[in-house]
Structure 1
C-alpha cells in the first residue's frame, strides 16, 4: 500500500537545497532487475527456493517483505496474516517463531508438488544471498535497529536497500544507519518535475519506486541528473514485453518484475544487460 506523503506548499514556492542521495549497492548490470517476492513463476512467493531461483535467473535484487513474530524473530511474508499462503491462521505479529516455523506454505506452482516450503527467516535469506544478489527490503513491520544489527552481523549492510511504508520508518532508519538507501513511492500529487523536486527535497529518498505509469520522460531524466535511481513496478497481470518497451522508452534503467527470467532474457536480447 502506498504511503501518503504531503508536500508542503512552501516547498513548491521556495525549494530547499538539492538533496544528495545515498548511493545504492554497486550495479552488476546496465539495467536493474528486481525479482518481486523472488521468482514465483516456479516456486511460491517469498520462499528460499524462489529467492534461489532469482539468483539463478541473474536478477540484481530480490524483494522481500520483512515482518516480526510475537517473540521478535524477523521473517519474510507479504501479508500481515499467514492465512493466504500457509496451512495456518493468524497474524505474524501474534504468532511465535516456533508457530510460524512449523507452518507449511501452500504449493500452487510448477515445482515438485511433493515439496514442502516454509516461511524463511531473515538469517536464512542473508545466508543465501550474501555475495550473490542484493536485497530490496519492503519494510512491512520490523525494527530498524534489529534489522541493521543482523545486517552488520552478516556484513551485508551495503548490499541492501529499504522500501519505506510509513513516515516513522524514515526517522528510524536515518537515526539507525544514515547511509542506508531508502526507497519511496511517489504520492499521487506528484505529476511533474517541479512537484517531484519538491517531494525529494522534503522527504529525502535515495531511490524512487511506484508504478511506471506515474513517471514521464522528463521526471526520469531529472532523477538521473541528481543520481537518483528510479526503479518502478511493472509487475502484475498486465506485465508483458509491451509494458517493458514503454518503461524503457521513458528512460528507466530498472524495474521490479513478477517474471524475472523472461525479463532478463528480454533485456539481454535488447543489449541492455
Structure 2
C-alpha cells in the first residue's frame, strides 16, 4: 500500500472540525482514514471533541467532563452542526477511524461499545499522546493497531511505543527523517507524520517513506500532484 491520507478532525478547513459534516466532506474529497478526538461527557457518553472545554468550537462554555450529553448536544458546533457521539460517527462514516483519546475516561466505554459491535473493530485505529492510555488500549484491544503520538522522532519514542504495545507511531513531520522511518519499519511499526499543511509537505511525507500523514485539508493532495485511491496515493493523471 502506498502513502495513505488521514483527514484531521475530518476536513476541518472545509466544515466545522470533528462534526459529521467535516467527516462527510473529507470522505467526499478523498481520504483513507478519518481522525477524531474522543472524550466522555459527565454522564459517561462518548462525544467527539478535541478540547477539554466546549468554548472554542461551540457557542457554549464549560468543561466537556462536566456537561451532560444533552447539554453538549444542545450546542451549535458551527453552521448548525452538532457535536456528534462516537456511535453516530460509526453509523454515518465508512472506513478506518483514527480515534485519539483525549480523556482516559473514554477508553472503557469505547472498548465496551466496539466489543458489542465486533464488525467495527477492524475500523478502529486508536491513538494517544498519553502513554498510560496507549498501554491500556493495547492491553484491552490486542487485535487493534494502537498508536503512540509524539512530537519527537527518536529511538526513545520507538522504545516507549514497543514497551506499551503500540504498533503505530505518529510523529511531527519536522522531527522525522527517512532514517527514522526506516528504523521504525525495521522494528515493525507503522509510521505516520503530522501535520501536513502544504503540497510541499505532502511530497515530503511521500519521500520520507511514511505510511501515512494527517492533514486538515485533503484538497492539498491534488495540488501536490497526487490522487487518493483505496490503496493510498498515486500520481495524478
TM-score range normalised by the length of the shorter chain: 0.7 to 0.9
Q: Does 1:170 align with 2:134?
A: yes
Q: 2: CA distance between counterparts of 1:233 and 1:149?
A: 29
* 1:206–1:252 CA distance, 2 compared to 1 (3 A): same
CA-CA distance at 1:165 after TM superposition: 2.9
* Partner secondary structure for residue 63 of structure 1: strand
Contact 1:134 1:160 in 2 (8 A): yes
Q: Does 1:65 align with 2:17?
A: no
Say which of 30, 36, 39 aligns to 2:8.
36
CA-CA distance at 1:200 after TM superposition: 4.2
* Partner secondary structure for residue 248 of structure 1: helix
Contact 1:57 1:264 in 2 (8 A): no
What is residue 146 of structure 1 aligned with on the other side?
A: 109
* 1:171–1:216 CA distance, 2 compared to 1 (3 A): closer
* Partner secondary structure for residue 38 of structure 1: coil
What is residue 182 of structure 2 aligned with on the other side?
A: 221
Q: 1: CA distance between counterparts of 2:140 and 2:19?
A: 28
CA-CA distance at 1:247 after TM superposition: 2.2
CA-CA distance at 1:215 after TM superposition: 1.3
Say which of 236, 245, 260 aligns to 2:218.
260
Where does structure 2 lack aligned partners over 5 or more consecutive residues? none
Between 1 and 2, higher relative CO (CA 8 Å, sep ≥ 6) is seen in 1
Correspondence list, 1:1-273, <5 A: 30-107=2-79, 116-129=80-93, 132-141=94-103, 142-154=105-117, 155-186=119-150, 188=152, 191=154, 194-195=155-156, 197-235=158-196, 239-263=197-221, 266-268=225-227, 271-272=234-235
Contact 1:210 1:233 in 2 (8 A): yes
RMSD value, Cα:
2.2
* Partner secondary structure for residue 190 of structure 2: coil
Contact 2:7 2:218 in 1 (8 A): yes
The alignment's TM-score, normalised by the length of structure 2, stands at 0.87
* Partner secondary structure for residue 38 of structure 2: strand
Q: 1: CA distance between counterparts of 2:51 and 2:87?
A: 20
Worse overlay, 253-262 or 41-50: 253-262
Q: 1: CA distance between counterparts of 2:222 and 2:95?
A: 14
Q: 1: CA distance between counterparts of 2:116 and 2:222?
A: 31
* 1:101–1:252 CA distance, 2 compared to 1 (3 A): same
Structure whose CA Rg is larger: 1
The alignment's TM-score, normalised by the length of structure 1, stands at 0.76
* 1:56–1:164 CA distance, 2 compared to 1 (3 A): same
CA-CA distance at 1:151 after TM superposition: 1.7
**1:178-222 alpha-carbon deviations (Å, 9 max, x no partner):** 22211113464x54xx54553444333211112112111111112
Q: 2: CA distance between counterparts of 1:163 and 1:90?
A: 25
